[in-house]
């Protein structure tokens, strides 16, 4: 099964709608397969599902190199280069993002293209006769799982967005579906899609052969995160959403196949040689070490000039830039700091860079074709969300128990002891800030930080929080640029042009 993850479905799942309607141009491509003629066998559906999973790998969706849209928006990472690529990547970090930004548009389009792949599967799966009905239910659940993840990305970044649940095959259908719907409607679909997965016969955990596919443990964890986000960002039903968040996070936690988190050393979570036995990972994007097409490049991409800790590939640049604001937030003797970041002391490059994702083995070759799986959901994330939800429900004692599970694994003093430290108490005077800190240092560079910030702070609070930071610890990106508008991304300019009323721009842009 796993080898099929690396196959791209032969079906072209994203339909192209041209403006020219001359009959003499409407000719069939003899090398293409029309959607209505593609789905004949169970294997056809499997290949299409694999194609949907494949879309997650992209740096424009949620792949390992998609940090531009999350970490570089936050106070963890960024770049001190405002010139390359017309300065467009720098706009995310600098809070000067324009609706015309081509990276923003690529991100938007890629998320919807991934959704289209799922929609095509769901619209055509009934054409196929399945020998095993469970397979049909599972493939449908996987398509909905992927669709839910993509909409979760969209709604958190843009707020109200178009909600498309079927393939759009004509210009008229595209026009009919080009309008933003309330965030609550998007979340309702996300929840429904994920719950359908729990009603399937997907396994609690995928075997090694199914690495990179959805499981009930992962679905429960995502449902918990979705409900936790709803409780923080939607005005209604906060208590009910928190209860649901706790329920599904506990369901995921209780499915774990280990005892205490301390049984899994922090470094082992990211050790490429131990990824097949990693009990902490809940959902990953699988990579093949040494493969030119399906390997991981994150280790090599993040390596600074003069360094060899990440990869055998020789680096000529700075690698993944780490903000001093994060460097300074690590507590003394936190082993996660030593594992996750390092200072490069090259004659040309003198800066902190990311070392969390490593594959310097010969099997990765001098080209840096690493074997790291990209972890989208793991148990430390679940445990810290359980701390967060219990804190929000007023169950501080329980919240601290979960917080301490992560701190104990990192070799850090438990919360009751840490609070006695004057520096810790000054930096994190509330349990909320202590949990947010723990998520920051535990999950650094795993593309969670921006979502943690917008979940824990209102737009006004976020402006205050970011502007309270020292500019010197933030790099050349200007904290003075931060305003209320930065809670959401701007709708890409080309999308607004389609219908300025129905695709209205977010405030401040």
How many helices (H) and strands (E) would you count in the chain?
22, 6
Alpha-carbon dihedral of residues 401, 402, 405, 406, nearest 10 degrees?
-140
- CB burial readout 173-212, b (16+ within 10 A) else e: eeeeeebbbebeebbebbbebbebbeebebeebbeeebbb
Q: 337 in a domain, yes or no?
A: yes
Q: 214 in a domain, yes or no?
A: no
Rounded to an integer, what distance in angstroms lies between the CA atom of residue 197 and that of residue 370? Answer: 31
Chain position carrying tokens 């097409």: 293
Q: 356 in a domain, yes or no?
A: yes
pLDDT computed for residue 12 by the predictor: 37
Segments of the chain scoring below 70 in pLDDT: 1-33
Q: 349 in a domain, yes or no?
A: yes
Q: 264 in a domain, yes or no?
A: no
Q: Give alpha helix (H) positions in 255-292.
A: 266-269
41 DSSP 8-state letter: S
**Closest C-alpha among 398, 410, 409, 407 to residue 419:** 407
pLDDT computed for residue 14 by the predictor: 37
**Closest C-alpha among 370, 336, 375, 376 to residue 356:** 336
pLDDT computed for residue 81 by the predictor: 84
Domain count of the chain?
A: 1
Q: 25 in a domain, yes or no?
A: no
pLDDT computed for residue 176 by the predictor: 94
Q: Can you give the pTM of this predicted structure?
A: 0.94
Q: Is the dihedral of CA 155, 157, 159, 164 positive or negative?
A: negative
Structural domain containing residue 351? 298-372
Q: 335 in a domain, yes or no?
A: yes
CB of 240 closer than 8 Å to CB of 392: no
Q: 35 in a domain, yes or no?
A: no
Q: Where are the beta strands (DSSP E) in 454-495?
A: none
pLDDT computed for residue 36 by the predictor: 72
């Amino acid at each position: 099964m796993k080898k099929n993850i690396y196959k791209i479905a032969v079906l072209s799942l994203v339909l192209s709608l041209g403006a020219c309607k001359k009959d003499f141009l409407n000719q069939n491509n003899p090398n293409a397969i029309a959607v209505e003629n593609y789905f004949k066998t169970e294997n056809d559906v499997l290949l299409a599902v694999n194609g949907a999973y494949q879309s997650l790998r992209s740096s424009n969706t949620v792949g390992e190199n998609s940090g531009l849209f999350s970490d570089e928006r936050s106070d963890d990472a960024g770049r001190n280069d405002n010139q390359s690529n017309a300065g467009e990547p720098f706009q995310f970090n600098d809070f000067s993002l324009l609706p015309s930004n081509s990276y923003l548009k690529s991100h938007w389009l890629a998320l919807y293209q991934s959704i289209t792949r799922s929609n095509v599967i769901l619209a055509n799966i009934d054409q196929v006769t399945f020998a095993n009905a469970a397979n049909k239910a599972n493939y449908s659940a996987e398509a909905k799982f992927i669709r839910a993840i993509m909409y979760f990305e969209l709604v958190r970044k843009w707020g109200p967005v178009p909600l498309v649940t079927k393939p759009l095959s004509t210009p008229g259908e595209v026009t009919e579906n080009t309008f933003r719907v309330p965030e609550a409607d998007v979340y309702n679909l996300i929840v429904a899609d994920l719950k359908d997965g729990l009603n399937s016969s997907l396994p609690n955990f995928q075997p090694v052969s199914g690495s990179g596919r959805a499981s009930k443990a992962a679905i429960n964890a995502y449902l918990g995160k979705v409900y936790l986000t709803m409780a923080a960002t939607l005005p209604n039903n906060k208590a009910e959403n928190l209860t649901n968040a706790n329920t599904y996070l506990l369901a995921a936690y209780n499915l774990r196949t280990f005892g205490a988190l301390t049984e899994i050393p922090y470094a082992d979570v990211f050790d490429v040689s131990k990824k097949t036995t990693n009990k902490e990972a809940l959902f990953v994007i699988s990579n093949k070490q040494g493969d030119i097409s399906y390997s991981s490049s994150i280790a090599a991409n993040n390596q600074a000039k003069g360094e060899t800790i990440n990869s055998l590939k020789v680096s000529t640049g700075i690698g993944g830039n780490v903000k001093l604001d994060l460097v300074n937030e690590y507590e003394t003797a936190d082993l996660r700091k030593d594992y996750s970041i390092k200072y490069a002391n090259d004659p040309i490059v003198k800066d902190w860079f990311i070392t969390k994702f490593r594959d310097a083995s010969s099997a990765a070759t001098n080209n840096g074709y690493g074997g790291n799986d990209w972890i989208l959901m793991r148990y430390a994330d679940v445990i810290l969300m359980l701390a967060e939800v219990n804190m929000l429900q007023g169950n501080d004692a329980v919240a601290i128990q979960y917080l301490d599970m992560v701190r104990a694994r990192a070799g850090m003093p438990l919360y009751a002891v840490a609070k006695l430290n004057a520096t810790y108490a000054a930096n994190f005077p509330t349990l909320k800030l202590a949990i947010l800190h723990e998520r920051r240092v535990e999950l650094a560079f795993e593309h969670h930080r921006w979502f943690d910030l917008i979940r824990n702070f209102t737009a006004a609070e976020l402006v205050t929080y970011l502007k309270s930071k020292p500019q010197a610890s933030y790099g050349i990106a200007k904290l003075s640029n931060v305003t209320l508008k930065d809670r959401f991304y701007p709708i890409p300019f080309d999308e607004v042009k389609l219908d300025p009323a129905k695709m209205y721009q977010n405030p401040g842009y």
